[in-house]
Amino acid sequence: MKYTVPVIMCLLLLPSLSKGQDWVVPEERKGRLSTFPFTEETRKEGERLYNINCLSCHGTPGKNNSIALVPPPGDPATEKIQRNSDGEIFHKVTVGRGQMPSFRSVMSAEEIWKTVSYIRSFNRDYVQRVMQIITSSAYPGAQISLSMAYLEAERQVIVRAMATDEEKSVPVTNAGVRLFASRYFGALAVDEEKLTDKNGVAAFVIPAGLPGDTAGNVSISARFTDEEVFGSVTRDTVIQAGLKNRAGSLVAQRAMWNSVRKAPLWVILSYGIGVLAVWGFILLVMLKLRDIYTVGSALRGNLRPASDQEPTNKQEAI
Ligand code: HEC
């Protein structure tokens, strides 16, 4: 008990610890570039996206009216944010940190780049470098393909992206690739997004606890993050990397979905009592109705003997 106050103090101070920490972006992500050039069109679309997703915290660029959070979000027009490389901004928006949300599953890569395009429009000195693939026209007309191999010992899936035309086959470099394991509903992302290296290769680590089917098989697929650029190439395969899943039937233990045999006694009893009570009540109402009817007809018999006979008398009189 006597530690409660110091513990609470520490918890309150925790967020401020990250205040001074630099947000370090992995080396290979820093140099990541947009796959399309920033134009007036991308800037406009970026402004729209910024207003929807970022304005509430970062404020209007150039107005220095970002909201007070710890650490502060900052105004995108300032040097503090502009000194980030394109790849750094892209990475920070993708993964988030602390109060800065991750936009990985909210915005597509293209939308994040358009937002970067808008942010860069506040920097006069900015000169864009576009990802090589577009400017070098290295692969136009080529068939882009993915191949996959599973290294069992390292628990790694190696994805290789190649661009092939009639003459030659060259590796697709610096392309974002993601790996998914199929689940009952939709797909589960396995590991982080990876960029292909100079050989067109990206390596993914399969987590040890990944559940598979009863034989431990997991069906996985790889695809490009920037599908607009590389096309919607996917590669599927089944690897034996999952845990053998021995989960029982979903309904085996559920009395409600099962035969009477498995239903617990209390369910049968309360259900039985409920049904009896309802039918008993209906029976009671019917008995009462019958009583009313008997009493009614007895009264009619007693009260109106004369009038009953009157017409007969009259008829006889006629
Ligand atoms: C909920 C509030 C919030 C929203 C919404 C938000 N941010 Fe942030 N952002 C923050 C905070 C807080 C930080 C500082 C995080 C840190 O340094 O740990 C931050 C940091 C950043 C940084 C890094 C700044 C630096 O100094 O390097 C960038 C870039 C950024 N945000 C861009 C965006 C973009 C683009 C969007 C919209 C797509 C966005 N943010 C939406 C709160 C937000």
Query: Which residues of the chain are in CATH 2.60.40.10 domains?
Result: 143-239
C-alpha 73 to ligand 1 mean position (Å): 5
pLDDT tens-digit series, residues 157-201: 999 988 877 677 788 888 889 998 887 777 888 888 898 988 889
How remote is the CA of residue 154 from the centroid of ligand 1, in Å? Answer: 36
Percentage of the chain beyond pLDDT 90 is 30
Looking at domain 143-239, its CATH superfamily turns out to be: Immunoglobulins (2.60.40.10)
102 C-alpha to ligand 1 centroid (Å): 9
Atom of ligand 1 nearest to the CA of 80: 26
Place domain 22-130 in its CATH homologous superfamily: Cytochrome c-like domain (1.10.760.10)
Q: How far is the CA of 100 from the centre of ligand 1 (A)?
A: 5
**pLDDT category, 5, cuts 50, 70, 90?**
low
**Mean pLDDT, to the nearest integer, of 55-64?**
92
* d(CA 4, ligand 1 centre) in Å: 33
The closest-lying atom of ligand 1 relative to the alpha carbon of residue 56 is 5
Alpha-carbon span 296 to 109, nearest angstrom: 84
Task: Judge whether 211 and 181 are in contact, CB under 8 Å.
Answer: no
Residue-wise pLDDT for 198-256, tens only, equals 888 999 998 888 888 877 888 888 988 877 777 777 787 888 777 777 666 666 666 56
Q: In this structure, which residue's CA is closest to atom 7 in ligand 1?
A: 100
**Ligand 1 pocket list (CB less than 6 A):** 18, 23, 53-54, 56-58, 69, 71, 73-74, 80-81, 84, 89, 92-93, 97-101, 103, 115
How many residues belong to the chain?
Answer: 318
Q: Which residue has the tokens 């096309």?
A: 231
Residue type for 192, please? E
Q: Which two tokens stand for residue 82?
A: 């502009």
pLDDT digits (tens, 9 = 90+) for 92-123: 999 999 999 999 888 888 899 999 999 999 99
In the chain, CATH 1.10.760.10 sits at 22-130
